[in-house]
Homo-oligomer: A and B are copies of this chain.
Amino acid sequence: MLPYKELANLDKIVHEPARLSILTALSACTLAEFLFLQELTGLTKGNLSSHLSKLEKANLIVIDKHFVRKKIPQTTIRITSEGKAAVDQHWKQLLSIHQSIRHHGANNENRSAPNPLSINQALT
């Protein structure tokens, strides 16, 4: 696909900043606690909670709510293999798009611009 179209069509479930942060953090550890994740990302609890729900619904993470010593509630989160694949692929895609545009751009930077229309031609 053309890089600009690919850019415009990025998966928003993954691309959204809070969720990209969550998924990227989770992809670096086997398990994370809710509060740890909150500290890491700097999100508010409410915000984190709703993003986690969204990610769970998309099968990108698994949420486990349990009690420590049958007393203290604790929510732990794992990334699924699907989630890991999605976030890895997303970063790859971003880098690859950036590369492809950098090359493309370099070819056009020194091109003169006799009129607006010709510039458009140059970049297609």
Contact = CB atoms under 8 A, between A and B. Distances in A.
Interface of A: 2, 4-5, 7-10, 12, 15, 17-18, 20-22, 24-25, 27-33, 36, 39-43, 76, 91, 94-95, 98, 101, 104-105, 108-109, 113, 116-117, 119-120, 122-124
Given A15-B15, A40-B123, A123-B40, A116 B76 contact: yes
Between A27, A40, A98, the greatest number of chain B beta carbons within 10 A of the residue's beta carbon is seen for A40
A25 B9 contact: no
A104 B7 contact: no
Instruction: Give chain A's interface secondary structure class.
Output: helix
Given A5-B42, A33-B117, A41-B5, A17 B17 contact: no
Contacts of A21: 4-5, 7-8
Nearest to A2: B40
A15 B124 CA distance: 23
Contacts of A43: 8
B124 A4 contact: no
Contact of A29 (B29, B30, B41, B119): B119
